[in-house]
Structure formats: C-alpha cells, structure tokens
Structure 1
Amino acid sequence: MIKHMLVSLLLLQLCISSYAQIERTREFVNFDKGGAFVHCFFQDEKGVIWMGTSNGLSMFDGQKVCRHKVLDGSDVLKGTFIYCTLKQDDVHFYLGTEKGLYLLDLKSDTCQLLSSPTMSIRAIEQMNDSVILLGTLNGLIKYDTGRNTFQPVDKIPQLPTNPIVRLDKSRFLIANYQGLYLYDESADTYEYLSVPSEESSLILSLEVDSANRWVWIGRENGLWKYDISSGKFTRITPFPHTPVKNMHISADGLLWLGTDNGLYIYDESLNRYEHAVHSSQNTKSLVNNIIWHIFEDRDGNIWLGTGSGISLYYNSHMVETYSWDSLVRSDEGNDIYCIYRDSLDNYWWGGSNGLCYYNPAKNKSLWFKMNRGKYSISHNRIRHIYEDWDKDLWIATDGGINRFDYATETFENYQIADSTHTRNANWTYYINGDNHSNLYLVAYCGGVFVVNKEKLLSQKGKLYVADENYYHHSGENSLHNAECLLAYNGKKGMEMALQYSPDVIIADIMMPVMNGVEMVKQLKANLTTSTIPVIMLTAKDDKKTEYNLLSLGIEAFISKPFDIKELVAHIDRILRNKYRLVRKLKEEGISLETDTVITESPDEKFLTYITEVIEQNLSNSDLNVTRLSELSGYHSKQIYRRVKQLTGYTTVEYIKGIRMKKAAMLLAKKQFMISEVMYMVGFSDSSYFSKCFVEKYGKTPRQYMENM
C-alpha cells in the first residue's frame, strides 16, 4: 500500500512539474498613452509602427508615441476607437473604427470615411481581391471595394461579430455572440461549430497555426485548440481560466497570449508557459495587465497594446549602442542635447562639448570642436541640427550657425544680424526652413531671423543682414502676464491651436508655409478651434483682405506698426466677453462645451483638478487613492480630507461614482459592448461591475442599455 502511494505521489509530482510555468523575467520598454486603450498595430513600408487607440491614430517616431494628424492639420480620428486594420497596398490601410470604415492614404496623408459613421467595426479580413469581411456590432458585412457597397450577411445571426480569421484559400472562421462558424467562400455556406464548454463562454480571439493545422481559441474561460483536419476541440488544461483577448504566434513558434491578467507565453511543445504582469516596483514590467493586442514587427520585436499604453519587448538587436568615448577616442565626455541621422545615413551627436559625425558605411567618426584645425566649429555648445531642402546640413550653436561641406568634411561659419546691428543670431537655438529659399533662425536675445539661403552662401566671411527680424518686446505693456506659445509658421500655428486650444490667437497675414488667411479658414472650419478668438496683424492697408477676414469671424484686425497697448486692450476685451458669457451660462445651469472653467475658490479649483485626473485615468483598473496621489501630486490624506469635505464622499466612493457615471453615458450611446464599457471605466471583473452598476442605477448594464 505504501509502495503504491509513493508511486502515485511520484507520478503526481511529475505531472505538476510538466505543467509548471517557466521562471523567467522579461523586460519591457513602456510608452504611456495617458490612459488610452491600444487595440491594434500595423507597420508601413518604411518600417514605421502605427497603432489604433481609443483616441484615434498614433505612431512611433523612434523615441516616443505621438498622435497622428493628417496633412491639413485636422484630427478626424481624434477621440475615435480604432479596433482593427488591414493593409490594401504599400500606402493604403483600412481602419475599422467605432464610427465606420476609413481608408488611410500614407502618401497623400489623408483619411477618408468609406461607410456610414454608425457602423461600428470590430474585425476585418480580406475575403478575395474585391471583397472584405467586416465584423461589426450588428453582424457580418461584406464590403465590395470596387463598388463601395456594404452587404449584411443574413445566413448567420446578426450579432456582434469578432474575431474573423482565414483558414485557407476559401475557408474562414467567424465568431459572434452565439458561437463559432465555418464559412466556405467557394460554396457560400456557413456551418455552425459546436464548441464544448462547461459554461457559456464567449470567443474573444482566434490564431491560426498553419504549420500544425490547428487554430488556437481564446475564450472568457481560458485557452482551447481546434484541429482543422479532425474538427476536434481540446481544452489546454494547465492554462489558467482567464479571458484570452488576443494571441500571436511569434517567429520562434511561441504562442503569446494577452489576457486580463497580464501576458502569457505558451510553449506548446513543452506544455509550459511564462507569465508577465505589471509591478509598481519594476519600471521594466508591463505598463498594464489588460492586453488588447499583440503585434510582431519585421525585426521580431513584440508590441503589446494595453489598457493604458504600450509595452515593447525587444526580441532582436534593433537598438544599437554607440560609446561616445570610442567614437571620439577621448574620455572628455559630452552632455548630448541633439541627435540626428541625415539623408546619407550618417549620424550626428551634439552637446556641450562639440559635435560628433559618424559614417557607418566607412566606420569613420570625426569630432568637431573650437580651435581644432580642419575639424573646427564656431562653438562647442551645439543647440540644434537641421537638414534643408537641398540636403545641406546646418548646425545651430552659441557662436552662430555652421554649414557642413561633405566634400571637404569641414564647417563654414556664418554671422547674422538685423538691419540696425543691435540684435544678432550669435546664440542660435533652432533652425528651420520653408523648403524653398529661406532659413528661419531662432536666437536667444535676438528673436527670429529670416535669411535667404542663396544670398547667405554668396556672402562668405561677411556679416549678413537678415531679410527680416521678428523680436518679442518686453515691458510694462507687454504680454508678460500671459502664457505665450510661439509658432514659426501658419501650419505649425494650426497644429498648436488643435493641441493646446488657446484662449486667443494672434497671427500675421504674411506667414511662411501657410498664410494667415488660410490658417483662419482652417481654424473656423474645424469644430475644435472654431470658437477660439483670432486677432490678425498686417502691414498692408488692404480693406478687401480686412473685410474678408472679418467675414470669416476674426475678432480684431490691427495694422502694423501698432502700439502694444492697443493689442493688450483687444485681448482684455475679448477675454472679458468670453468669461462673461461662460459665467452667464453657468449661472443659468447650462452645460457649456468649453475648455474654460470658472472657479471662484481654491476648493473648486482643487476638486476640478482631481476630477480631471480621475477622468483622464478612468480606464486604469489600478487607479486607487495611492495612484491618484502620485498622479495629482497631492498627499493621499489631503485628497481624502478635502474630497470628503467638498462632496461628502470618500475618495474611493468618489472615483467609483465617476466610473459609474461614465459607464452610464457610454451605455446610453449604444456604440460599445458592455464588456468594452466595463474596461473603459476601469473594471476587469464583470460580476463586480454589474453589482456596482445596479447599486447606482437600480438596473443591470444590459437593462439600462435596452431601456435607453
């Protein structure tokens, strides 16, 4: 009996060992998207990584993740959930969103809506050369790309449909709220597949393993496998009972699984898995435990789209490290301020101790410093590196600007001043150009200098008098009490207006890249910026232009030269009128969609700020009193005391109340599934979410949605 027990225990130990997870630590580079969900990725022909988020389209520029705006400066996808993408060709990509199907053209930098904005798309798959399958909240739809027509499929229930995967040339697996269907395009048949389960469990993800002829199925209750040849379903028993949102088979054959409980990496050959989760003690752990999408780029790196940003696992040698000491063959060191790769694929590093040039093709490096003979530059402090339209490289320093001669590998220095010789560009901090003829230099204590490049190059060794010099005066009647943002051309001004929503815009009719008239037209045509007051400056005595601008809705038109007192008076008048209107609407109890908030006391300002922090991080399930304290900069005890005093609620109750109000608002729109709303407001457990919602509104989320 004892012998049999020992044998049984030994077998049990062997079984447990074969199922144990691999003890391994993976490190991630994290990019926080400010609480935005990241649902999908794609990579263009140039290697740029793009991502669809809950706040539109973003891209990775090599250093950071930033939201993408199309060429005209508009942000048509801002605030829009992008759930899925499909490549059409090298420059065209379909985007499946909550507000329809878009076609992104990377060459022209435009985005076109193809469908009705009421079509909420969750999955997209190419069926043949002319037809695309779309999984929507209202069922499966066939999109004919040539005719631009959308045909609902009524052979399967018209329920929320996601995901869709291709099995072979003519067969597809399609999942919806009712189950799994096998679609044969050649026969135009839909076969319902009965997936075994001890309980009702939605299918959340599918991943085809072509090499082994099976399909991995991610469900609410764990991981399953479907054998394509035999039609048999098998549950992967050692894998936890956790919702599997997304899957990807990496180049090394491992199955990566995104769940509500972090990342799992499953080795099917060994029947073992790794598990990676977020840790507040480890900055190189996952940025968030809720993983919506997994993507592998051409270099083998794994990108994870989570509930509050991106985690990147470098699975290759995409990052190359260069030692400054080895490049310049010196141990002097340098504080690096700017890095640039030019059109010839040379690398440049500039800082407090000169400039280094590195040619990878020749494995050659040069160090440029003051008083270094042939390899001299006008000053050791390098501020900016700029390559113009002719591929000429310019360096901004504390000793003027320098142009690099690739033939001789030397720098030519240029000294620039204004017409009065009272201001100069000796301390140039920034260089830009208009892609045609002019350079724009931003100089400390000198303002902005406009320089004609052709004239400048013809005056070697001579002091060049700038064609224009714009200088920001200070004094009693200046704008020193206002926070001023400076744009160097009309296009940049438009972008900054969209980004910052200023209280007032002061612009000149004569601006590079985009003139003042065109900028005002775009400002007034864009819903986000249409109400921002504009003051226009001009040196022209042109009544026709003045009338045209006034008809577009600008608030004031000032001819140059002008007294700064006149400008300040106009600004004061505009802002007083704006605040008076906001106050009036507030007193009448009217909700005004504006970024301007009138707060009469420090307590109101505090509560407004705390509420904004909560709303910006609402989708983060880890948002608690401690995290709120970290994000807001206030001590947790101070937050508790003041929130309790002002609202009557504890901090936890206040956060939960905001979550519930947001959930009710989203459910009322009927644009999202209940599970999506749950994650959007920071819940990861459906039972607890439903319980909290019933406590607040007396109805389940489904009942609330149906009654709206």
Structure 2
Amino acid sequence: MCIFAAMNKSLTALSRVSMAIAMLFISIALHAQRFVNTTLDGAQAVYAITQDTSGVVWLGTDNGLYSYDGYHDYRHFASHTFSHIRVNALGFEGSMLYLATGSGMLKFDTQKGIYASAPAMESDGGKGRKKMARELRVLDMKGRKDAFGNDVYAILHTQKGLLVGSLAGLRLNQRQILLTPGAQPLVNALAYDAKRHCYWIGTEGALYCADQALQNFSKIAALDGNSVKCLDEDQDGNLYIGTDNGLYRMAMNNSLEHFVHDSRNEATIPNNIVWSCYVDKWQNVWIGTDHGLSRLSTHTYYRFTSLDKITFSGEGNCLHAILQTRSGDWWMGGTNGLIHYAEGVRVQGAASEYQNVVWYKQNNPSAPLAHNRVRKIYEDKEGDVWICTDHGINLYQKSTGKLLNFIVYDKSGKYSTAWAYDILQDQKGRMWMASYQGGVFVLDKQRLLAAISLSSAATATCVADHHFSDKGKNALSGLHIGQLVLDGKGFVWASSYNHLDRIDTRTLRISHIPGNDAINYLMTSDNGNVWVGYTSSVKCYMVNLPMKGKEVESKEWKIGAKVVSMCDVEDKIWVVAGNICSVLDQGNNSFRFFIPMENPNNIYYSKLNHEVVMGGNDGFISIRADLTMPKDDKAQLLLAGIVVNGRQTQDALLDENIEGTPGVSPVGLKTLVLKHDENNFTLQLSDLPFADHPTAVYAYRLEGSDHEWHYLDKGNLDITYNGLSYGDYHLTVHVVDGEGNIGDEVYQLEISVLPPWYLTIWCKLFYLTLLIVGIAWVINAHFVRKQLKEAKKQKEEILEQVQARMQFYASLADDLKNAAAHRSFEEVNHLVVSNLDVNASAGDSESAKIVDFNATQAPEVELDEMDRKLLNQIREMIEENMVDSDFNVSMLQEKMGMGNKQLYRKLKALTGQTPVEYIRDMRMQKAAKLLKAGKFSVSEVMYTVGFSNSSYFSKCFSKAFGMTPTEFMRS
C-alpha cells in the first residue's frame, strides 16, 4: 500500500500535521541540477511530449506539431491550415502519431511526413451545416482514441476500469470519486506508480495518492496549493510533478526537490509553468513549459559539477590544475586561486555534499595564497601537497591548513622559481622545480623543509643544490621550462617551447631529444613511458625499450588539433584537443568523442573514484573510466532533416505554397533526388546526443565531388553543399577512431542532382541527332561540292573538246570549200558545204532549214529597223553566253541595260515569248542543231547549250521536241 494512502487511514490529525511539516522540510533540494533548454522556432508553450522508436522526441505545442533530434527542431505543420493548431496530447501506434488538438483528432504518418487525416467535421445541430470538431485533450490509445470531450483532461486504464479526470472531478468508469467535500477540483493528471504500487491524482490545488484499490486517498501536504498539470516516473522511482510553480521531484524516500526558473542561471528551467513532463527510454526528463522545452539530463557516463555548488559562491575559477590526494581530498586551481575540499557520501556516483571547503585566494585573509594563478598541484611520496604559482611554490601544512610560500634561487641569485610552473620528486627524495625564465632547480626535500620552517618571512627563500640553465656545456635547450616528468628509468624530462631535454638524475647530465615541433603537454604513463603532446600529434617515447643508438624509440599518433592535456586511464591514454577527446588504446580499440563541456583546460584520472575529471571554466565534468562507444547498429546516424535552398523539405510536404523546395520526408530516405536549381542543400544528421552515450567524431565524403574527408566538429552533424553540379553522388559518413583513422560506416545516402531540361537525356539525344544530321550534311555537301567540281571540270573538258571539234570542222569545211571551188562539178561542192556548214555558224539560216523542230513557231511579225536591231542584240547576247549555265534573265537584263518589265514587254511583243522561254528556246534550237549533226554526244551538247543537269536537259528537250535527245539523234 502507498505510504501516503496508509497515512490517511492510521494517522491522527496531529500526526498528519507533523508529517506535513516534515514534508516541508524534506522538500528542500539537496543539490541543483542542470537543465538544457531549447527554444522552438515559432512556438512558445509545449503541452505534450512523446518519443518514437528511433529516439526522436515529438512535441505538441500551442502552434502545432514539432520533432526534435537533439540539434534541431522541425515543424510539422503549415501556416494557416488545419495542422496549425494547439496540440494537447500525443500517442504512437506504430509509425502513426495521433494528435489530440483544438479541433479534434489528427493522424500524422511519421514515415511519410504527412498527415493521414484532416480534422473530423460534425453536424451543426439541424441546420444542415458542418463545423470543426470540438477540442480534444486526451487520447485513449487502448480504445476509441477520440471518445472523450473537451471537458476530460486525463484518463488512465486500471484493473478496476477506466479512471477519468475532468472538470467535474474524478470518476472510475461511471462512478464519481470524491476527493474533497463539496465541489470537486479539476483533475489534470493521472499516473500509476509501479514502484510504490499506488495511483497519483494531480488536481488544481493538490496532489493525491491513492492505493491500488482506489479506496484510500491522501493529499500530499508539501504540494498543497500547487496546480498539478503532469506526472511521470523514472526507472528509479523518482516521481516528476509539473505544476504552475515549477517542477518537483519526489524520491523513493519521499523527499522532494523543487526546480524553478532563475534568471541568473541559464541551466534552470525556462519557465515555472510546467505543462508536460516525459521520461524517455534513456531516463532523460523532458519538461514542456510556457517558454519552450527543457531537458534534465540523467546521463550515466558523465556528470557536470559547477564550482558554485561546492563553494556556495558565484565567484568562478577557470581550472587548469586538478589533483586528488591518496586520502581522497580534492585540490583544484586555476586563474582565481586554489579550492580544497573533501567529498561526502557518494550517491549514484555523485557526492551528496562537500566538506571542509577552503578557497585559497590572495584576498582571502583566512586562507591566503601568494598568487591566484595556479600552474601545478603535486603530491609527493610522503603525501605532501605542493602548489606552483606565479609567485613561487606553496607547501600545504596539514596541521594548520595553511600554505607556506617559498622561492628557490640558484647560487648566483640570478635565477629563481618566482614563476613556478612544475615540481616533482625523484627516487632520492630530491625536489625538482621548473620555472619560467629560470630553468630547473634541484633541492633536497629535507633541506627545503628546514629552510621553510626556519623562515619567519611570508615567503621563505633558499638556494638550490643544483641548477640547470641554457648556458654552459651541460645546458638546457631553453630557459623557460613548462613541465617536468619522471620516466620509468628515473630520468627527468623537461620541455621548453619546441625542445625536449632528458636529465640523468644520477650523473645530472643532459641529453637533447631531437624534434622541433611546439610542445604543449608532457606526461608519464603508469608504465614509465613519456608522452608528448604537440600541435597536431602525440608521441610516446618508450623508455623501457632498448635505445637505438642515442635515440629513444618512439611512436606517433595523429590527433589533428592542438593537444591541451593528457592522462593515463587504466592503460589508455586520454588526449584532450579542443572539445574532442581521443582515447588511445594499444589494443587497437582507440576512439574519439566530443567532450560534453566547452574546451576543458586539463584532464585528471581519479583512481579512487575510477573517473576522469576534466576542468574548465567554473566547473568540471566527471566521466566514467570504462567509457566505450556504441557498436554496430547502435552507432548508426539518422537523417532528421533536409534543407534545400534555405527551406525545410518537411515544410514543403505540408505547405503547397512553398515553391522551389522539394517535398521530401528524410525518414528512411535512401536516395535524395534534386532538381538542377536545388543544388544548395544541407543534410541534418543526428546521433541523438541526449541518448546515454558520448557523441563520436565523424567524417564524411561525397564520392563524385570530394577528394578528401571532411570532419563534423562544429557542434552539430550538418552536412552542407552549395552549387553542386548535376550528376549522381554517394555520401558516406564514418566514425573517426582515436588515432584519426577512418573507421566504420554509420550512414550513407545516394544523391542525384537532375540536369536542367536542356541537358536531359532526351535533349542530349536530340542534340546527338542534330550533330549526326549536321555531320551528314557536311559530308554530303563535301561530296556534292566534289561532284560539282568534277562536273565543272568535266564540263570544261567537254566544252573544250566541243570547241576544238567545232573549230576543226569549221576549218575543215573552209578548206573543202576552197578545194572544191576549183573543180568542175558543183554537186559535190554543194553536198560537202551543206553538210559541213552546220558547224560553221549557229545563226546560218540555210543550215537551220534542215532541222525539223516539231514545235510551234511564233508567228511572223513585221519588225521595224530598231526592233530588228534590238532582237539581233538579244540573240547575240544569248549566243555569246549560252555555254554559261548560270546565264539567266537577270544577267541578260544587266548586259542589255534594260529593266525587268521593259525586257519582258519588249521580248513578248517581238517574239510572243517571255525572256525565260526565249532563252530556253534558243538553247533548245542550238541543241537540236548539234544533235542533228550527229558529231557530238548528248553530254557535249548539254554543256554546250548551258545545261549542267542531264535529267533537266532531257525534260526541257522532250517538252520542246516531243522526244528525248537520244531519240532525236537516232531519228
């Protein structure tokens, strides 16, 4: 039975009052918690919180539905639509998310990123009109999900039936349960407590506890007057209670912690009105307030401690040196003095209280410190604690709790430990001290203690037994010594800027270690090896191995950033570089992770607590020494969001008014297809940083674009590309191990950027076709030109032959005429002359009579002298240019000096033919004469009369004489 329900049965009024008073005292928080706050873009109040199977958190707000992946929040509603509405409750059924909203129930498909239903419409009485459904505040995921009206604020399935909280109070099934006499309070929240085996009822003004039989009810007096709005419980039985007065946490021992907003502290809840609280599968507590979302992290792998929770002072300190003594006391120093305290009882890994806290500072008369800048804190073999500052070295006196300040000088008094940077003790009990601009000092501890005890001054002084500077034969590489370490063979190593020296403690001889890279940190591992942190790498000098000549064998690891600090954690070397920690393991299990604080200054391993402590500004984090990274499928990343041209693709799925952004749901996406003008995009990956594991360091490469790996080390896992050319790409994301090598693949995505329309495959085929046609045209033109050239050449040859033959026949005809003229028989003379005279003159009228034109001749027209002269000029001009195939009417006009219309009218009147017909007729007459003579071939005749195309010549000849040239010759 619930302890509070049992109280109601057994306690007297007085005892109940006493218990109430006790509860009020218990309600004081034992220690503060850090809240991580998130402001949602476009929403203020968060009314409902849930989580899907992948771990993404879903939020119901005053403006609509959101999701959150630990880096970004994503809107899942479109402005001025049905989804832009207050969401009161959320519930998952597979991948379908049900929403109780101001206008009824909505269903959102989280796989597709779209709403599967619009709000239901209900009848408006008998008016025949429809209106939006009433507001829904709860979801019955085991029954009809939208079965309840807007007066129901909470439901809970029990063994006795359905428990319903409403404006009218509490009822079980249909039976009213009276919580108070008279009017019943509004019931906002109901929850079953599996640890305490009871029910919790949150109302306006009180929190009640009921037994499992729902028979006995008890009011929690410490919360009287609080309006309880939400309830949830973690796996340890802590009950979280959201009210109008902040958040309460009730532990299993019934103690209460109260969390409220503090404007001076950003790590508190953002607002005291808490509408919803939800414990996720990693036991993070999510709080929805009137001013955004807040998370109370319950990480088990690390814990943050703020210095003000130890010192109860707002005066901070940037920690540069941390030490836990063998007795368990803690020393922390930095830029503002030295803090010394002891831990109380540790509960769940954390100290429940801090004891004997002393803050040594220059302005603290009760705990003075010579200088506030603390460089090193060291515990020697005898348990004495030494503190190096910018004004000498301090020895902690256990008996008085005071710090005894001293400065060591060399024998000349020129060099001193006024700016002390480091101190250590060798095997002989001697103290080795390093100083800025002072070198290295060696002094027997007992002689040093004696000098300190005998000194009456505030700062004791003494002279070193040995001193090393950068002068002389046995000199250091530099005078400014930053650190000293003692290796496994008893040698002291000293670092100065980019030099490293090794001093034999027996002979006090110095040897120089080769190298010129800047040294940032120096340490010795538990096995005696010396580790050096450089600007971008770490080197281990393995002193236990045989030396190679005068050099110590070494091994180097690439870190990629400036090494700030290192420590040995159970045979693993933790290296801090910026906000990344590399864990180097000799067994090839190295890994890297992001440090959950901003750029720590140093790192220290507590062997008593098995924790790694990293000090930073005003606080420190403690990390489990057995920290490991998620393996296999647990290390996979998820794509939570896609931004294209500055707009979320999830928004485009829901808002049709968004142009230029593809509507794409990132969930389960294997291939991202983008248009050519959508080539500026960001992929928002997430490893859910609120999960109970450290965030690994990742590297990515886009095959087809990138030639090298890019690291995701900017505080989120966003991958951005701008102006990506069209084509197909393959994105792969891998874990980076501790040694900087590319490890296992954790995410991959195919990306296809489509070409513009003028570069699509169809356009390319069209371009190829045009190219082929163009090439064919060029080739054809080449051959045509070649043929024309050959034809022209052939024409010229034929014309030359014809001309030569005509000249021959003309000459022969003249010779025969002359020879026959001296003979007596005129018949022979007449026969020869008549047969040869065909070739003598194209215009011989006597020769023309032997040709039968078979064509209609133009009627005889009486011509005057001028017309006859003009016609003769035209004939002569045509005869002169007949052999030219390009000769036409235009050329005739030009040569005759006549206009187009004038030539046409004149020639038509004189011959009855147009200029074109007249030119063609003369060509045909000449062709007929030559063919009739039988001394020339058809081709020779064709070229002679100005034709270059045999088919066209044959067509024109057939039209003129009714037969082809060949037939004409045969006839």
Q: TM-score, normalised by structure 1?
A: 0.42
TM (normalized to structure 2)?
0.31
